[in-house]
Structure 1
Amino acid sequence: MDNIDVRDYLLEKIQNCNCEEGLKLPSENKLAAKFSIPRKRIRDVYLDLEQMGMIESKQGIGHFVKPKRKLLDIVLTGDVSFSEKMKLQTKDYKSVLTRLEQIEMSKLEYPHIEFANCKTLYIIERLRFVDGEPAAIHRSYVNADLFPEIKKERSQLSSIYQFYKTHGIENFESSFTRLSTIFPGKYERMMLHCENLVPIILVESDNWNKDENVQLEYTEILYRSDRFSFQLTNTRKEKGCLC
């Protein structure tokens, strides 16, 4: 019997738990006897589940399933900003500007960034709070050649969608949306208050001014996977993903 068998047994209990109060899981001693393995291995399994954000441990009391909470819906394409989507689902939403930095495109250390006809970028990062907790990091790599005075407008940058609207841009288009799963690094764990093994959903896209056929930005959004559910679309070409 190995740790995976114990983890599978506990995962089944966790996945079948629909109670609002956290279900208390079997004690380490009880599981060690059930699976005929040392208690330390049971403790290691519980530590893994805690790092996955699935349980919480209370010293001297036991291990408990974290109560399930309603996931927030995200449509990956559309012309509605992330802020507007969240305000429709919760009254407790806040977006905080955490980074505003200008950088030459030639010095950018991210080869995956795809940008057409751009020499200088602004990296604009916002931390999104939902129900009082950090839930997503949104990075926009904005064409600085189009908005040379952007630093003077930092008060408007908590929603890049609203920022574009103040500049008369209303018609957006995206040429791709790419979704992948990563695990948080030190910075993401610190910003999102999540554990090592809580998967992060990374959504990448570009955003164009459709009327002018000019690329406005390249976008990365990092979502805590335990806070959101995602809806996909079959439409081949939709308006920009303004998350």
Structure 2
Amino acid sequence: MENWIIDDIMNGLQSGRYDVEEPLPSEHTMCARYSVPRITVRNAYNRLEDQGIVVSRQGKGRYLTPSKTPVHLDLWTGSSFSEKLMSQGLELDNRILIQKSCDYDRDIWKRLDLDGKEEQVYHIAIIRMIEDSPIAIHHSYLPIKYFPLVEEEAPTIKSMFRYFTTNGYTELKAVSVTMELSLPTSEEQELLCCPPLIPLLVLENCTHSKEVTPLQYTRILYRGDRFKYHIN
């Protein structure tokens, strides 16, 4: 019965029966409509909340979550993430999450083609924000031997793409690209302000330049409900 209730609400959303400004039917109303116990209705609404479709407002009931205009993201162009958003007239803000030398991780060292534990890697994690809303988490892992001043320069980095070019690295390209869908961890839910069943697109790649390969290992988590992805 939970699925029937969810289907009814989703059909109402698509047909325009429900308005984002009006509360959805109460648990009591839905119980009478479907002749089911209250816990069944509550579970259905909770599942819709977990998917970000419904939001609860204290003392007012449940409402459809207002839709937001999707951000268009071309995954394969050579411009930076910041430049892609600026071309759409969007203002991007960055919040530094991590800036530190990272402990040895066999997988990261292998991706960066580093010889052993004596090599050093700097980890920069940035939360990407649009209109004070977090939309992505960008993890960059940089071999310190290619960026000896990265610890001093990290607080001023706004765009990794621009940082590489200002350090003399040219003809940048992404290689060994992988994409997969993942559900957010509890920490990622908090950082991205998203419900537990909002899928994340996880994009991983290594950045190569004409001068150095590989220059960077990147792991980016995009909120699946905020982007429209273009793959050319």
CA distance in structure 1 between the aligned counterparts of 2:42 and 2:207, rounded to whole angstroms: 47
Equivalent position amino acid for 1:133 in 2: S
CA deviation map 1:80-114 (0-9, x unaligned)? 1111111222443211222112135xx21657962
Contact 2:138 2:218 in 1 (8 A): yes
What letter matches 2:112 in structure 1? Answer: F
How many residues end up aligned between the 2 structures? 229
For structure 1, which runs of at least 5 residues remain unmatched after alignment? 234-243
Residue identity in the other structure for 1:218: Y
- What residue number does 1:128 align with? 128
| C-alpha distance 113-182 of structure 1, shift in aligned 2 (>3 A) | farther
Alignment correspondent of 2:151: 151
> Which shifted more, 58-67 or 71-80?
58-67
Amino acid at match of 1:114: R
The runs of 5 or more residues in structure 2 that have no matched partner are none
Other structure's SS at 2:66 match: coil
- Secondary structure of the corresponding residue to residue 197 of structure 2: coil
What code does the residue aligned with 1:230 have?
Answer: Y
The Cα shift of 1:27 comes to: 2.3
Q: In 1, distance between residues paired with 2:38 and 2:172? A: 57
2:201 equivalent in structure 1:
201
Q: Deviations over 1:198-229 (max 9, x none)?
A: 211111111101x2251111111111112111
Letter in 2 for 1:124: I
Structure 1 residue 114 corresponds to structure 2 residue 111? yes
1:189–1:196 Cα contact (<8 Å) kept: yes
8 Å CA contact 1:93–1:130 kept in 2: the answer is yes
More displaced, 36-45 or 169-178?
Answer: 169-178
Q: Residues 117 and 58 from structure 1, CA distance in 2 versus in 1: closer, same or farther, beyond 3 angstroms? A: closer
Give the letter aligned to residue 219 of structure 1.
T
1:166-205 CA distance string (max 9 Å, x none)? 1112311222322111111122122111122221111111
Matches within 5 A, 1:69-148: 69-103=68-102, 107-108=104-105, 110=107, 114-117=111-114, 119-148=119-148
Change (3 A) 1:154 1:135: same
Report the 3-state secondary structure (helix = DSSP H, G, I; strand = E; otherwise coil) of the residue aligned with 1:215. coil
| Cα pair 1:181 1:201 within 8 Å, conserved | yes
Q: Which residue of 1 aligns with 2:171?
A: 171
Q: 2:231 corresponds to which residue?
A: 232
Q: 1:101 to 1:46 in 2, by over 3 A?
A: same
Could you tell me which residue of structure 2 aligns to residue 236 of structure 1? none
Whichever residue aligns with residue 179 of structure 1, its letter is M
Q: Give aligned-pair identity as a percent.
A: 26
Determine if contact 1:97/1:157 at 8 Å carries over to the other structure: no
Rounded to whole Å, the distance in 1 between the matches of 2:124 and 2:182 is 21
* Aligned amino acid, residue 114 of structure 2: N
Distance apart, 1:230 and its partner CA: 0.6
TM-score computed with the length of structure 2 as normaliser: 0.89
- Report the CA distance shift for 1:147/1:18 in structure 2 as closer, same or farther (over 3 A): farther
Structure 1 residues 213 and 15: alpha-carbon distance in aligned structure 2, compared to 1, 3 A threshold: farther
Aligned position for 1:4: 3
Residue 28 of structure 1 and its aligned partner are, at CA, apart by 1.6
